[in-house]
């Protein structure tokens, strides 16, 4: 099974080698068919501390790194 890859925005970089990324997706309400914006926050491993708040990054799922970290940053798509 291929690993999931998402694109999201960095909302926190206060931890060492760790960033928090918000991934926004659009889903449709089952009954009313209205489009709803859903946001998921992921704790992501950033080995080089290279990303800053506001950057758009690509993340990929990985084996567990710590209690909450299961994602690794691939690259910075757009700098803030």
Query: Over the stretch 3-61, which tens digit does the pLDDT of each residue have?
Result: 999 999 999 999 999 999 999 999 999 999 999 999 999 999 999 999 999 999 999 99
Cβ atoms of residues 24 and 41 within 8 Å: no
DSSP code, position 66: S
For the chain, domains (ranges, CATH) are: 5-78 (2.40.50.140)
How far is it, in rounded angstroms, from Cα 24 to Cα 77?
15
Instruction: Report the predicted TM-score, pTM, of the whole model to 2 decimal places.
Output: 0.92
- For residue 71, count other CB atoms closer than 10 A to its CB: 24
Q: Which residues of 32-49 are buried (b: 16+ CB within 10 A; e: fewer)?
A: eeeeeeeeeebbbbbeee
37: Cα separation from own chain's centroid? 16
Confidence of residue 80 (pLDDT cuts 50, 70, 90): confident
């Amino acid at each position: 099974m291929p690993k999931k890859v998402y694109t999201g925005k960095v909302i926190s970089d206060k931890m060492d080698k760790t960033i928090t990324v918000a991934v926004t997706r659009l889903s449709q309400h089952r009954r009313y068919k209205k489009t709803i914006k859903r946001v998921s926050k992921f704790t992501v491993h950033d080995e080089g501390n290279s990303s800053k708040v506001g950057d758009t990054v690509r993340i990929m799922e990985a084996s567990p790194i710590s209690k909450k970290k299961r994602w690794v940053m691939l690259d910075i798509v757009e700098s803030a």
